[in-house]
Amino acid sequence: MARVAVVTGGTAGIGLATAQLFAARGWTVAVIARDETRLRQAEKLLAQYGRPVLAISADVANAAAVEAAAARIEAELGPIRAWVNNAMSTVVSPADQITPEEYRRVTETTYLSQVYGTLAALRHMKPRNRGAIIQVSSGLGIRAAPLQAAYCGAKFAVSGFTDALRCELIHDRVDVSLSVVYLPAVNTPQFGWSRTRTGHGQNAPDPVFDPRLCAEAILHAVESPQREVWVGRTSLMMAAAQALAPGLADRKAAAMWDAQLEEAEKPDRAGNLFEPVPGEAAIDGRFSTRTRTTRQEFWTSRDRDLLLTGVAGAAILGFAGMVALASSPRRLLGRR
């Protein structure tokens, strides 16, 4: 039986890299996005791998459209084994200059789209007691940054929703995995599509990573379910800083204001917040000369747990040794 994977926002950047990797590994792939031109281009690219492909035009902020897409995928391709919630949008702007309508739209496309995708996938996976759902998040969903208030708020919400739902699945003994993949700055076309209100274009601060690394981490979470995955050293460092020294992390993040903006002044742009913008179905953005090409730099919550277990074990052994020495003073003093 075919393994069917669904990728939202699957016509560019991380979404397209992930859909391509699924297809290259023998999966049947469905992509959901808005722009018809990019959908047809992505469909043609993915079909080269010899597996069926389905490209569906839908706004993932529309719950009914997502449900209809899931039903169509099940009917035309077969049972969905993996669902990757990747679609997003942002407004690069000081928080007090973002309008209520913009906050609402970023929340719909970046948070509620993942809720709708998850629920649509679960309605098909839960009766079969099988499947994997991946929430594509960001280091900014752990450690917020200036100029990204709407996006950070939406990504933080994704983690809360996912943790709550995971507890329910454990309670109900449902064998559907839920994973959150936290990403660093990645070389995708999105940096040229986002809505801006700073008088500058959006820049990807160093280090910048390859979208294909993100795809590898996502597929790994499908095939070897993990609670969380951190891609790139910066995501791991952001998580550690937020956990250990959040006040210091605030000051470090404040210093990243200028790094997120291009030096040259540019007119503000409407971007793809409410409507798709023209562009090719491309994986890479304009930062290729600064992109790290590694495909292996990601860590999982299982790696973290093993590390913590080792540290705790070493601490316990050390403490036990101290107690043993303290209870045998003659061994310390020796014989004179």
The residues carrying an active-site annotation are: 137, 151, 155
Q: Hunting for tokens 């303290």 — which residue is that?
A: 326
DSSP string for residues in 81-116: EEEEE-----EES-GGGS-HHHHHHHIIIIIIHHHH
The tokens describing 144, both together, are: 């917020």
DSSP conformational letter for 57: E
Give strand ranges (E) for the chain. 4-8, 28-33, 53-57, 80-85, 91-92, 132-138, 177-183, 195-196, 200-202, 208-209, 228-231, 261-265, 291-292, 298-300
Q: What is the DSSP string of 8-26?
A: ETTTSHHHHHHHHHHHHTT
User: How many whole angstroms separate alpha carbon 153 and alpha carbon 126?
Assistant: 29
Report the C-alpha gap between 238 and 244 in whole angstroms: 10
